[in-house]
Homo-oligomer: A and B are copies of this chain.
Amino acid sequence: MYRTHTCGELRISDVGSQVTLSGWVQKVRSLGSMTFVDLRDRYGITQLVFDGTADLGREYVIQIKGTVMERESKNPKLPTGDIEIKVAETKVLNKAQTPPFTIEESSDGGEDIRAKYRYLDLRRPPLQRALALRHRLAQEIRTYLDGQQFMEIETPYLIKSTPEGARDFVVPSRMNPGNFYALPQSPQTFKQLLMVAGYDRYFQIVRCFRDEDLRADRQPEFTQIDCEMSFVEQEDVLNMFEGMMRQMFKNAVGVDIPDPLPRMSWYDAMDNYGSDKPDIRFDMKIHEVTDLVKGCGFSVFDSAEYIGAIAVKDCASYTRKQIDELTEWVKRPQVGAKGLVYIKLAEDGIKSSVDKFYTPEQVKAIADKAGAQTGDLVLILCGPKRKTQNMLGVLRIEMGNRLGYRDPKVFAPLWIVDFPLLEWDDETQRFYAMHHPFTAPKPEHEEWFYSDKKEDLERVCANAYDFVLNGTELGGGSIRIHNADMQSRMFEVLGISKEEAEYKFGFIINAFKFGAPPHGGLAFGFDRVCALFGGQETIRDYIAFPKNNQGRDVMIDSPSEIDRTQLDELHLDIKA
């Protein structure tokens, strides 16, 4: 028994008690005749009082025995702020070298040093809160789904490489030389097999792996909330997981989200927000103005497929310099616009960068179409339709950031529905599955799905859905194919040969021949769910031991070389 209480537990009602506490020395203040020490553990901070001096360094681990006393000057910010411990006995359980950075709310350490000493960074309150939230959310998810008769079923991590989509991490098999396992990018096929096996409602909070070149804030291993249900239609899935999210928001962060959640079709999301993951915390929708501006002699617009505008509230006062900066911003390769047209609706009149091509009435009409009012700034981009909408979407988010419209403590979730089933890729001249090759076409679009015409296939929609929060996709899923012939047709449409399909997915096509139920499901990115619930953009603080952008864990120094004997056992050579 190293303690009778934690450092977050004692209150005024405990005054007079003899207690034993253990924890870390957060702070030492010596007043000569007495010394105050803040003792810290996961549960809180308790003030200790020593007669005379105390030979204690920062982050020492100590055990003390003493008496709970009422404080003279109380600290209302601390739950233990009414009391302090008059220390009778002290034992140093472990000394500590001076940590390489401060262990406080915000640290003075750079990212690299904090990554190397992750176990010290993890002592800081924001990371403790982050991991506590993560634990809480996982518990809420499991409690909700268990209550809905879902069973958590573990699927294997050593599976089979199916080079479709992202790259697999592979694991050489010593017992089967020359053969490899692969780590799962998701348990997709296994959860579908569990539906074939009659488990009806499955979930798993599960690690997934992707050997991608790491963009910012991607991890080679990440965690999914993976779910699947049998005998369901889209409506059943959306209701079920809306319920889960509602309970998580309520119980973990005390927020009520709308009931029911808004739903938006993929086409509306693209047209109005230039994104399949719109941030609807603010309006500033995209409006097409093509009809209004074409054929008036402005060649840039005349030659464009699509011209669209957004109205930015109260920004008519933007200076020439600010507009120039914004123009440079949209011309960066990350956005890719050729230029930016503006209309300022100032109190003293309307002014635009295309005044010489349009009459004041025409300019006013454009501004009206964009929903602008006096005081607003209209920003216009043009080019190919989807690409331009996308650029306008990026610009919209940027303006939202600049104007403080994106408060991380405001939560605006919605469902995006009615995705196209297939995406045509000009470069490889083939279709790709927009979700994945197991997503079913909408029943009413089945005829198009079996058509040979590209334009038919392009308009097939899926009962696929994404859960979007504050401009981030937190998860998505679909109603699946449950029929062997339809699954074979899907592989055919995707240009996967019969032989290849058989080799890679034979077991699931085969499984569908033995009585597969209609089924569907979805998966949420749990790391990102945690970050957004915590009001953060980056996931790294919500993962106990993350990897850096080179996929390295710098704390344990991994990946690293392995022994020659290990390589020999695996029958492997490293090529120069």
Contacts and interface: CB of A to CB of B under 8 A. Distances in A.
Interface of A: 1-3, 6, 22, 24, 40-43, 59-61, 63, 93-97, 99, 117-120, 122-123, 128, 131-132, 134-135, 138-139, 142, 146, 151-161, 163, 167-183, 189-190, 193-194, 196-200, 207, 209, 211, 213-214, 220-221, 223, 231-233, 235-236, 482-483, 506-507, 511-518, 543-545, 547, 550-553, 555-563, 566, 568-576
A160 B559 CA distance: 6
Nearest to A213: B175
Given A93-B517, A167-B174, A573-B573, A231 B132 contact: no
8 closest pairs, A vs B, by CB? A96-B515, A122-B197, A2-B231, A160-B558, A179-B559, A173-B559, A59-B515, A573-B573
A94 B482 contact: yes
Nearest to A512: B94
Contacts of A200: 6, 41-43
Contacts of A131: 151, 153, 199
19 contacts: A2-B231, A24-B198, A24-B517, A42-B198, A42-B200, A43-B200, A119-B193, A122-B198, A128-B199, A154-B543, A158-B547, A160-B558, A171-B559, A178-B561, A180-B559, A181-B559, A182-B558, A207-B207, A572-B574
Contact of A93 (B194, B518, B561): B518
A506 B211 CA distance: 27
A117 to B, nearest CB: 8
A145 to B, nearest CB: 10
A558 B158 contact: yes
A153 B96 CA distance: 25
Given A118-B193, A118-B197, 4 more contacts: A41-B198, A131-B151, A157-B209, A160-B556
Contacts of A563: 163
A119 B233 contact: no
Contact of A514 (B97, B153, B178): B97
A266 to B, nearest CB: 24
Given A158-B558, A547-B158, A151 B175 contact: no
A162 to B, nearest CB: 9
Nearest to A117: B514
A24 B97 CA distance: 66
Contacts of A482: 93-94
A189 B544 CA distance: 13
Contacts of A182: 558, 562
A182 B559 CA distance: 8
Given A94-B517, A152-B138, A560 B161 contact: yes
A504 to B, nearest CB: 10
A521 B438 CA distance: 43
A574 B177 contact: yes
A484 B554 CA distance: 20
Which of A99, A169, A552 has the most C-beta atoms of chain B within 10 angstroms of its own C-beta? A169
Contacts of A197: 118-120, 122-123
A183 B169 CA distance: 12
B514 A99 contact: yes
B553 A160 contact: yes
A506 B566 CA distance: 21
B170 A553 contact: no
B175 A551 contact: yes
Which of A158, A178, A511 has the most C-beta atoms of chain B within 10 angstroms of its own C-beta? A158
Given A94-B482, A176-B552, A213-B175, A571 B560 contact: no
Nearest to A99: B514
Nearest to A200: B42
Contacts of A155: 544-545
A194 to B, nearest CB: 7
A42 B199 contact: yes
Contact of A199 (B59, B122, B511, B550): B122
A518 B221 CA distance: 31
B233 A1 contact: yes
A246 to B, nearest CB: 21
Contacts of A516: 61, 94
Contact of A231 (B22, B174, B506, B553): B22
B572 A575 contact: yes
A560 B180 contact: yes
Given A61-B517, A171-B171, A181-B558, A545 B119 contact: no
A97 B513 contact: yes
B96 A174 contact: no
A545 B93 contact: no
Contacts of A199: 42, 122, 128, 131
B551 A176 contact: yes
A570 to B, nearest CB: 7
Contacts of A119: 193-194, 196-197, 511, 514
A456 to B, nearest CB: 26
Contact of A544 (B95, B153, B556): B153
A513 B96 CA distance: 6
Nearest to A138: B152
Given A96-B514, A211-B174, A566-B170, A158 B575 contact: no
Contacts of A512: 94
B507 A555 contact: yes
A557 B507 contact: yes
